[in-house]
Amino acid sequence: MRAQKDCYNCLENLARQTVELTGKNQKQKEELLQISLFYLSENFSKYIIPTVVAGEMQRLIREKANCPDPFANIKQQELKLAAHLFQEFQPSSSTDIITLIDFAIKGNSIDFFVNLEQLRDNIKNPATLTYDDTYQLLKLLEKFTHYSQTPRILYLADNAGECYFDLPLCQQLSTYGFLYYVVKENPVQNDLTLEDLKESNILEHFPSVISSGTDTPGLDTRLASTEFLKLFQQADLIIAKGMGHYETLTELALPAPTFLLMKAKCKTVACSLGVDLDSYTMVMLN
């Protein structure tokens, strides 16, 4: 997805939030903001992918501030909140895959700034999907049972707290093939890293966890590791969470059937998909 006019204000707000979270004094924050907003003004255009600029801008802030993970405390809060909700609403081991998809999608609504009661309502009620390509996924999984070799499944993670909601679906999908749960190599925003997953105390419950090698929202293949790119090209199925992956994956030649699970949290993404703001979707991208 290419940038729209409204993306500039969103990226500017992201710069301000990231700078504020560096913990520097007021003068240093003002200098960091000036640097980041200059970068944004110089690099923003209708041709860019918003998450790519977001990643580069935040990397600049982190390096200038000597602050490797400005969102660390926020991610800790998000993980704690998600763990609480998971304990309350986790599906049973015998739950069907459609319910597990619903559970994973609703996890995309988790953010540290959302009221707990509002989140609880979102989680306990079934997600109404504006796009629902679940049937296509089920047909593909059925084909996997006839493959002579074990299929490779990549599951691209999004925000830190979502790992709890991804886990049951990942465990179920791993019965159809070899599943890799893909996290970020280094921190960016509140995206999940390997270190965050270790803090969640559920790392060992995922079939296999790897890093994309990147430190940007979504998937910037220019920065991905050779190991990940090889797996990406060899994948038989890709499942991705969140708007960052929508913005980036829609600009790639995808090597395998790719399904996106997300909540459309901004107007630009919602309009691009042709859905209402805050709609849930499970859409096949290719």
Domain hosting 145: range is: 90-284
Does 107 share its domain with 160? yes
Mean pLDDT of 251-273: 94
Asked, for residue 76, whether it belongs to a domain, the answer is: no
CB crowding 144-182: b at 16 or more within 10 Å, else e: beeeeeebbbbbbbbbbbbbbbbbbbbebbbebbbbbbb
**CA dist., res. 286 & res. 7, Å (int):** 25
CA proximity to 27, closest of 59, 63, 65, 58: 65
Query: Per-residue confidence at 123, pLDDT binned at 50, 70, 90?
Result: confident
pLDDT digits (tens, 9 = 90+) for 149-184: 999 999 999 999 999 999 999 999 999 999 999 999
Give the helix/strand (H/E) hosting 283: strand 280-284
State residue 51's pLDDT score: 94
Across 257-286, average pLDDT? 93
Q: Cα separations (Å) of 84 from 77, 200, 209, 251?
A: 11, 11, 23, 36
User: Mean pLDDT throughout 249-264?
Assistant: 96
Computed over every residue of the chain, the mean pLDDT equals 93
Residue 197 or residue 121, greater confidence: 197
- Do the domain assignments include residue 81? no
Q: Looking at the structure, do residues 26 and 168 belong to the same domain, yes or no?
A: no
Given a contact cutoff of 8 angstroms between Cβ atoms, the answer to whether 43 and 53 are in contact is yes
- Domain-embedded: residue 222: yes
pLDDT on residue 127: 85
Percent of the chain whose predicted confidence (pLDDT) is above 70: 98
40 and 95 housed in the same domain: no
Beta-bridge partners for 263: 280
Coil, helix or strand at residue 115 = coil
- Contact, 204 vs 179, CB < 8 A? no
Q: What are phi and psi of 130, to 5 degrees?
A: -70, -45
Which pair of structure tokens corresponds to residue 279?
């709609």
pLDDT tens per residue across span 128-156: 899 999 999 999 999 999 998 999 999 99
CA dist 239 and 64 (Å) reads 34
Q: Tell me which of 50, 65, 80 is where a domain ends.
A: 65
Which of 31, 65, 99 is the endpoint of a domain? 65
Say yes or no: 46 and 145 in one domain.
Answer: no
The verdict on 168 and 46 lying in the same domain is no
What's the CATH code of the domain at 267?
3.40.50.10880
pLDDT at site 113? 61
Q: Which two tokens stand for residue 231?
A: 């797996």
Residues 58 and 95 in one domain: no
Overall number of domains in the chain: 2
Residue 259 lies in a domain: yes
User: Based on the domain organization, do 61 and 117 belong to the same domain?
Assistant: no
Same domain, 270 and 148: yes
Q: Strand 237-241's sheet: what is its strand order?
A: 129-132, 280-284, 258-263, 237-241, 152-156, 178-183, 209-211
Does the structure show a pLDDT above 70 at 100? yes
Q: Is residue 74 part of a domain?
A: no
Q: Which residues of 54-84 are buried (b: 16+ CB within 10 A; e: fewer)?
A: bbbbbebbbebbebebbbbebbbbbbebbbe
Q: How many Å apart are CA 266 and CA 53, to the nearest integer?
A: 17
Closest CA to 278 of 270, 286, 268: 270
d(CA 73, CA 67): 13
Instruction: Verify that 144 and 22 share a domain, yes or no.
Output: no
Q: pLDDT by residue (tens digit) across 5-17?
A: 889 999 999 999 9
Residue 149 and residue 191 in one domain: yes
Identify whether 77 is part of a domain.
no
Asked if 53 and 107 sit in the same domain, the reply is no
Measured in Å, how far apart are the chain's first and last C-alpha atoms? 14
